[in-house]
Amino acid sequence: MSRVIYGIHPVLEAIKAAPDSIERAFIAEGRQGWAVGEVIEALSAADIPWEHVPRKEVAQFAGTEKHQGVVARVAEFSYSSLETLLAVRREGRLFLVLDGIQDPQNLGSLIRSGNGAGVDGVIIPKRRAAAVTPAVVKASAGAAEVTPVVQVTNIVTALERLKDEHIWVIGIEAASTVTIYDADLSGNLAVVIGSEGGGMRRLVRERCDSLLAIPMAGAISSLNASIAGAVTLFEVCRQRRASPQLP
């Protein structure tokens, strides 16, 4: 079963990552500019069929007006396996675990941040959470097409499996008295971000090896889930760059 992706960056990333998965692309009539030209050039170079169609049809394909004039029909999204990711052993493994993120924009932004921070994979639950949809791919700027995403039945079980592999699990918790700047984040790590409204569920929180807060200097006590994830992941990156033990 095929799906659609839309937007200039998501389509370009899909062409780069998996051109064979793209069945056909559609460009809105009258849509011009160097960015669209880059998409057309990439499609042609990869021998992917495409055609100009009325903007109204592009919006119908995409299911939204926010398509930037570019839509592609691609193979169904393929989730990764946690065991496959864990089979690749290296120093400084990093996973992003999302406990019930429901907003597609937040999920897409977190996948994008995870890709930028070099995560080995993003782990999400199958139920009561956003899945990877065209809106998520668009919000991720195409990162969802090149970042391993694992969908699990039970987040708690997934955390236990990570811990079996000697991966330290930290949960981001605004009420914690220990901050991400106080902790050593240079080893094998899984960062857990809770849902937009309720944060981490109790059982998930209890499975974390440590709970860390992001220091807040203003009147607001916490950050949006996607921003909290990005801040934490790049603090991990900062610490690892400062560590002589890791590349």
Chain segment 61-71, per-residue pLDDT in tens: 888 888 999 99
Stretch 14-32: mean pLDDT, rounded? 89
Looking only at the bridges linking them, the beta strands covering 121-125 and 149-152 are parallel
pLDDT digits (tens, 9 = 90+) for 236-245: 999 998 765 5
Domain final position from 51, 75, 99: 75
Q: What confidence category does residue 30 fall into, taking pLDDT thresholds of 50, 70 and 90?
A: confident
Q: What is the DSSP letter of 19?
A: G
User: What pLDDT digit, counting tens, does each position of 39-51 carry?
Assistant: 999 999 999 999 9
Exposure class string for 85-105: b at 16+ Cβ within 10 A, else e = bbeeeeebbbbbbbbbbebbb
Asked whether residue 106 falls in the same domain as residue 38, the answer is: no
pLDDT of residue 217: 85
pLDDT-based confidence at residue 247 (cuts at 50, 70, 90): very low
Residue indicated by tokens 């002589």: 244
How much is the pLDDT for 218?
Answer: 81
Same domain, 6 and 111: no
The domain containing residue 199 runs over which residues? 82-242
Q: Are 78 and 173 in contact (CB under 8 A)?
A: no
Burial annotation 215-231 (CB, 10 A radius, 16+ → b, else e): eeeeeeeebebbebbbe
pLDDT of residue 49: 95
Answer for the pair 178, 138: CB distance below 8 angstroms, yes or no: no
Does one domain contain both 138 and 204? yes
Are residues 169 and 232 both part of a single domain?
yes
pTM score above 0.75: yes
The CA distance from 115 to 25, in Å, is 25
Identify the sign of the CA torsion 63, 64, 69, 72.
negative
Return the CATH number at 102. Answer: 3.40.1280.10
Is position 201 within any domain? yes
For the chain, what percent of residues have pLDDT higher than 90? 74
Residues 70 and 8 in one domain: yes
101 and 29, same domain (yes or no): no
